Amino acid sequence: MNLTDEQTRFLQILSDGKKKTYVHVVKGFGMPLTPMAPTFTNNLARPLLKMKLVKRAGGGYKITDAGRAALKGT
């Protein structure tokens, strides 16, 4: 599975298994919290949702078992 560096970092941020919101993701990337933060997070998560590596969880995202396996494979 070919993941970009940003997608791999997104999965690493979610790797503890807890629900993470866009605030957690943007802070994990070391970016400032701006009005574009939700858009950045959603655009990054969209292909991962299609690959079923992450799932939506009450206003945030959680990593799936397939996402953990993909993260170990990198």
CATH value at residue 41: 1.10.10.10
| 33, 53, 64, 65, 68 from 48: Cα distances, Å | 22, 5, 10, 13, 12
What average pLDDT does range 35-57 have in this prediction? 96
Taking the C-alpha atoms of residue 38 and residue 74, their distance in angstroms, rounded to an integer, is 26
Residue 53: give the domain boundaries: 5-72
Q: How confident is the model at residue 74 (pLDDT cuts 50, 70, 90)?
A: confident
The number of folded domains in the chain is 1
pLDDT in tens, 3-30: 999 999 999 999 999 999 999 999 999 9
Q: How confident is the model at residue 32 (pLDDT cuts 50, 70, 90)?
A: very high
Main-chain phi, psi angles of 56, to 5 degrees: -75, 140
Q: In this predicted model, which residue has the larger pLDDT, 53 or 2?
A: 53
45 touches 6 (CB < 8 A):
no
Q: Is the pLDDT of residue 73 over 90?
A: no
